[in-house]
A = this chain, B = another copy of it.
Amino acid sequence: MKVKLFFIALLPSLIFSEPIQPLPQNVNVDNNKAKLGKELFFDPILSVDNSVSCAMCHDLQNGGDDGLVASVGHKGQVGDINAPTVLNAVYNFRQFWNGRSKDLKEQAKGPIENPIEMGNTFENLISVLKNSTYKEKFDEVFEDGITEDNIADAIAEYEKTLITPNSAFDRYLNGDKKAITKDQKEGYEIFKEKGCIACHHGINVGGNLYNKFGVMEDAKSKREGLYEVTKEEQDRYYFKVPSLRNVDKTAPYLHDGRYDNLNDVVKFMARYQLGRTISEDEVHKVVQFLNSLSGELPKDIR
Contacts and interface: CB of A to CB of B under 8 A. Distances in A.
Instruction: Please give the count of copies of this chain that the complex contains.
Output: 2
A179 interface: no
Main secondary structure of the interface of A (DSSP, over half): loop
A131 interface: no
A172 interface: no
Interface stretch (A121-129, A195-203, A253-261): A195-203
Nearest to A276: B193
Contacts of A195: 194-195, 198, 274, 276
A209 interface: yes
B16 A274 contact: no
A216 B234 contact: no
B215 A238 contact: no
A201 B274 CA distance: 11
B208 A234 contact: yes
A211 interface: yes
B16 A217 contact: yes
B197 A201 contact: no
Given A19-B275, A93-B234, A202-B234, A197 B215 contact: yes
A232 interface: yes
A160 interface: no
Interface in A211-262: 211-212, 215-218, 230, 232, 234-235, 238
Given A194-B195, A195-B195, A195-B274, A212 B201 contact: yes
A192 B210 CA distance: 19
B218 A16 contact: yes
Interface in A17-64: 17, 19
B216 A212 contact: no
Interface in A100-146: 102
A273 interface: yes
A96 interface: no
A210 B238 CA distance: 11
Nearest to A275: B192
Contacts of A212: 201-202, 208-209
Task: List the 3 closest pairs (A to B, CB-CB), nearest first.
Answer: A195-B195, A93-B234, A198-B198
Given A198-B274, A201-B215, A209-B238, 14 more contacts: A17-B217, A19-B216, A93-B232, A93-B234, A93-B235, A192-B274, A195-B276, A197-B216, A197-B275, A198-B215, A201-B212, A208-B212, A209-B211, A210-B210
Interface of A: 13, 16-17, 19, 91-93, 102, 192-195, 197-199, 201-202, 207-212, 215-218, 230, 232, 234-235, 238, 273-276
14 contacts: A13-B217, A17-B217, A17-B218, A93-B232, A93-B234, A93-B235, A193-B276, A195-B198, A195-B276, A197-B275, A201-B212, A208-B212, A208-B238, A209-B209
